[in-house]
Structure 1
Amino acid sequence: MKVVIIFNHPYEGSYCNAILKSTLLGLQIANHQVDVIHLDKENFNPVMRSEDLRAFINKNPIDEKVIEFGDRLKDAEHLIFIFPIWWELMPALMKGFIDKVIFPGVAYDYVNASNTKMKPLWDKVKGITVITTMNTPSILYNWIFGNAIQKALLRGTFWKLGYKNRKWISLNRVKMVSPEKRKKWLTNIESNFSKLK
Structure 2
Amino acid sequence: MRILVLHAHPVEESFGGALHRLAVERLAAAGHAVDDCDLYAEDFDPRLSPQERRGYHEIGPNIEPVRPYVERLRAADALVLCYPVWNFGYPAILKGFFDRVFLPGVSFTIENGRVVPCLHNIGKVAVITTYGGSRTRALLAGDPPRKLVERVLRLTVRPGASVRYLAQYDMNRSTPRIRERFMEMVGREMDAF
TM-score, normalized by length of structure 1? 0.89
Instruction: Answer yes or no: is 1:77 the counterpart of 2:77.
Output: yes
**Displacement after TM superposition at 1:16 (Å):** 0.7
**1:87 matched to which residue of 2?**
87
Q: 1:153 aligns with which of 141, 149, 153?
A: 149
Deviations 1:47-100 (A, max 9, x none): 122211122121232553x21101111121110111111121111101101111
CA distance in structure 2 between the partners assigned to 1:171 and 1:19 by the alignment: 11
Structure 2 spans left out of the alignment, 5+ residues: none
d(CA) in 2 for partners of 1:195 and 1:57? 38
Root-mean-square deviation (CA), in Å? Answer: 1.7
Once structures 1 and 2 are overlaid, which stretch shifts more, 27-36 or 145-154? Answer: 145-154
Alignment partner for residue 172 of structure 1, among 154, 169, 172? 169
Q: What is the distance in 1 between the residues matched to 2:117 and 2:88?
A: 29
- 8 A contact 1:118–1:161 mirrored in 2: no
Cα 1:189/1:88, change in 2 over 3 Å = same
Q: Which residue of 2 aligns with 1:43?
A: 43
Q: TM-score, normalised by structure 2?
A: 0.91
Matched, 1:20 2:20: yes
Partners of 2:179 and 2:5 lie apart in 1 by 21
Alignment partner, residue 61 of structure 1: 62
1:132 to 129, 149, 152: 129
| Secondary structure of the structure 1 residue equivalent to 2:62 | coil
Identity of aligned residues (%): 23
Q: Which amino acid aligns with 1:147?
A: D
Partners of 1:119 and 1:183 in 2: how far apart?
Answer: 37
Kept in 2: contact 1:78–1:126 (CA 8 A):
yes
Deviation at 1:42, TM superposition (A): 1.4
Question: Which stretches of structure 1, 4 residues or longer, exceed 6 Å deviation after superposition?
Answer: none
> For the Cα contact (< 8 Å) 2:30–2:191, is it kept in 1?
yes
Structure 1 2/151 Cα, relative in aligned 2: closer, same or farther at 3 Å? same
Give the alignment partner of residue 116 of structure 1, picking from 92, 114, 117.
114
> Do the aligned residues in 2 keep the contact of 1:55 with 1:62 (CA within 8 Å)?
no
Name the amino acid aligned to 2:95. Answer: K
Q: Distance in 2 between matches of 1:160 and 1:34?
A: 21
Stretches of structure 1 that go unaligned for 5 or more consecutive residues are none
Distance in 2 (CA, whole Å) between partners of 1:62 and 1:173 is: 38
Q: Check the 8 A contact 2:107/2:156 in 1, yes or no.
A: no
Match of 1:187 in 2: 184
| SS of residue in 1 equivalent to 2:172 | coil
